[in-house]
Amino acid sequence: MFRKSFVAVIAATTLALTACGGGSDTGTSGGSGGGDDTITMGFAQVGAESGWRTANTKSIQEAAEAAGVDLKFSDAQQKQENQIKAIRSYIQQQVDVIAFSPVVESGWDTVLKEAKDANIPVILTDRAVDSADTSLYKTFLGSDFIEEGKKAGEWLVEDSASTEGPVNIVELQGTTGAAPAIDRKEGFEAAIAADPDLTIVESQTGDFTRSGGKQVMEAFLKNTPDIDVVYAHNDDMGLGAIEAIEAAGKVPGKDIKIITVDAVKDGMTALADGKINFIVECNPLLGEQLMDLAAKVVAGEEVPARVVTEETTFTPEQAKEVLASREY
């Protein structure tokens, strides 16, 4: 509860630059220091589970190269214990700054305290943690997932306005315990509460992967006779659902409408083809902002406690217009 109200307050004051509390107020970090002014960053990535993650990794690696940041990078294969191990190794190596995308919200206080005690600043990117102690990290750069869920739900309320009778929704949730899964669900449910005909009849995690989305959708199609809409927390699970829907002899985008989040190339292609009906963008290109924040943090400068990324939504017509120029 605290995290959500905290994020809500911060989200509301995002644009007002606020001093970031706590942490190393000496302006120095536990890093290589010395005469060499090259910043060494340890980045603990979630994994390579989706097209979004691939684009996010590419953005971070390219931005580090461009900024002259010495990047130590690890892929945790979506396992929290691997991310914790990586963070501990960055502390051992005395990097100047640690950045990571927490695979799940909880269970980070101990290792983040170790980084703080080693005087190494931490930047959260993409996903949040639910720690009550906000001095454990300098800033959180990433999307507002509740807003993303709301945009998805608001589109469905409008699209269903002329539909008589119940609209049965099945939900493909992201990784259990992950901030985007928790918040996209919350935002969507808040938005569809406006229309009592809209009901989530089944909801299960597909772990943000295409195979997970396909497997869960196959089960939904077996258990639930009349599904009208799929709400998938990311494109990859939506693309897996399309495979299952077509294998069941139904037409995705027509017999069963599909709403997803991300707007990666494969998702936008399915949207342009009419197999997906609406996509809420989640911007993975965080690299440049991350390197800029890291330089400020290592120099002991104030940074905003929360930096929300800009993103939009797409209909099939809009996807057709922008598909060729999409970076990812």
Which residues of the chain form contacts with ligand GZL (CB under 6 A)?
Answer: 49-50, 52-53, 126-127, 142-143, 180, 208, 234, 236, 261-262, 282
Distance CA 205, CA 297 (A): 36
Taking the least distance from each CB to ligand GZL, the nearer of 45 and 134 is 45
Q: How far is the CB of 180 from ligand GZL (least distance, A)?
A: 4
Residue 48: CB minimum distance to ligand GZL, A:
9
Q: Which residue(s) pair with 111 in the sheet?
A: none
Q: For residues 55 and 198, which CB has a smaller minimum distance to ligand GZL in the complex?
A: 55
**Cα–Cα distance between 213 and 174 in angstroms, integer?**
9
CB of 145 to ligand GZL, least distance (A): 7
CB 95 within 8 A of CB 113: no
- Alpha carbons 187 and 152: distance in angstroms, whole number: 8
* Residue closer to ligand GZL (CB basis): 172 or 261: 261
Whole-number minimum distance, CB 328 to ligand GZL, in Å?
Answer: 11
- What is the distance between the alpha carbons of residues 54 and 298, in angstroms, rounded to a whole number? 27
Strand, helix or coil at 64?
helix
CB of 84 to ligand GZL, least distance (A): 18
Considering beta carbons, is residue 83 or 160 the nearer one to ligand GZL?
Answer: 83
**Residues found in the chain:** 328
Q: In this complex, which beta carbon is closest to ligand GZL, that of residue 126 or of residue 228?
A: 126
Distance CA 131, CA 137 (A): 10
Contact between 105 and 12 (Cβ < 8 Å): no
Closer residue to ligand GZL in complex, CB, 50/59: 50
Minimal distance, residue 152 CB to ligand GZL, in Å: 12
| Pairing assessment for the beta strands 198-205 and 229-232 based on DSSP bridges | unpaired
Question: What distance in Å separates the CA atoms of residue 260 and residue 248, rounded to the nearest whole number?
Answer: 20
